[in-house]
Structure 1
Amino acid sequence: MDGLELKERFEVSPSDLTFEVLAKNAPEELLHNINDIGVLILPSHGTDDSFYNGSLDTLDYLNNNKIKTDIYVRDEEYKELGLHGADIWLGTFFLKNFVIPIFCGVIASYIHEKLKAKKDDKISLKLIVEKNDGTTSMVAFDGKVEEVEKALNAAKKFSNEN
């Protein structure tokens, strides 16, 4: 069975992970500017310390597009998961409320323009989005690239919600 050859998964659910929790447990390198960061790239694929191959490219793309982003790990502890196959594994992102609409537009451009994703390609991403009141929800998507907009649109709704 290929990586994402499972049924499409689109899930929106409450999350316990908040910015306060991330800030409290942040790697020392992040502490000095964590309040200025709009997006944190979190460990993925059920691990506490591994990131998808290409996470540094995603980090650079977001920062180059004026979205202050960092990876939630100490530099010397950064390691990547080398998942092989044609699937696009973007990872897990924590989004502060103010950056949600901008992030969604930029990540859609990244998927189509930088990664050159085709309509039948399979993609996986998880967004933990902060609401105006500081609580969070998770939007998880595994499926065809042509359907990823439903996950991005679900995340955008939280930017206006109290």
Structure 2
Amino acid sequence: MSFPEIIEHFEVTEQGPTFKKLIEKASPDLVGEIQGKNILLLPSHGSEDAFYAGSLDTLDYLNENGLDADLYSTDEEYKELSLHGADLWLGTFILQSIVIPVFCGVISSYIYDKLKAKPDDKIYLKFIVDKKDESSATVSFEGKVEDVEKALNAVKKFADD
């Protein structure tokens, strides 16, 4: 039996939401929870309110490794979207440019050490970098785990912006 070839999608765009815009749009309860965070996990897969299954594990891992992260959701509003299959769906992260070097190392460790991802596994993720000039850039990646470094290197280029 042969498996379909994994088609890679990799894109860097100079657009996306910023922390400031997300906070302006948030409910007062949510603003109190996310104010001052360096990383937020956003709802995923075209959903305005659902997170991928495992988002709480990802959040815990980031916080355990010294990154000040939270979900863009209150506890009462949190819902998970379960996608069944072998693919790895990490979700959408918005991060302050100042945490990029640490974040890239931690998320790489999470993928390889915690999730035990194999090089041929398919992974989906998106990083939105909130830049110092109050604009943002988005790095989207869908492809083999062995090529995820391409996305992380693109994110690292925004560390000094």
TM-score by length of 1: 0.92
Q: Spell out, residue by residue over 1:67-119, the C-alpha distance to the aligned partner (whole angstroms, 9 max, x if none).
A: 00000012111111110111000000001111111111100000000000011
User: Take 1:35 and 1:5, find their aligned partners in 2: how far apart are those partners?
Assistant: 42
Could you tell me how far 1:125 is from its partner in structure 2?
0.1
Could you tell me how far 1:25 is from its partner in structure 2?
1.8
Counterpart of 1:98 in 2: which secondary structure? helix
Matched with 1:42 is 42
- Check conservation: 2:96, 2:129, Cα contact below 8 A: yes
Is 2:80 aligned against 1:80?
yes
Matched with 1:61 is 61
Letter in 2 for 1:112: Y
User: Take 1:12 and 1:111, find their aligned partners in 2: how far apart are those partners?
Assistant: 21
Structure 1 segments, 4+ long, off by >4 Å, are none
User: Take 1:18 and 1:94, find their aligned partners in 2: how far apart are those partners?
Assistant: 8
Q: How does 1:9-158 map to 2 (within 5 A)?
A: 9-32=9-32, 34-158=34-158
The answer for unaligned runs of 5 or more in structure 1 is: none
User: Take 1:16 and 1:77, find their aligned partners in 2: how far apart are those partners?
Assistant: 23
**Aligned pairs, number:** 158
Letter in 2 for 1:40: L
User: Take 2:89 and 2:53, find their aligned partners in 1: how far apart are those partners?
Assistant: 8
Distance of aligned partners of 1:138 and 1:5 in 2 relative to their CA distance in 1, 3 Å threshold: farther
Counterpart of 1:36 in 2: which secondary structure? coil
User: Take 2:143 and 2:64, find their aligned partners in 1: how far apart are those partners?
Assistant: 27
User: Take 2:15 and 2:52, find their aligned partners in 1: how far apart are those partners?
Assistant: 21
Percent identity, please.
59
User: Take 1:67 and 1:18, find their aligned partners in 2: how far apart are those partners?
Assistant: 18
Counterpart of 2:17 in 1: which secondary structure? coil
The answer for unaligned runs of 5 or more in structure 2 is: none
- Check conservation: 1:38, 1:99, Cα contact below 8 A: yes
Counterpart of 2:84 in 1: which secondary structure? coil
RMSD: 1.5
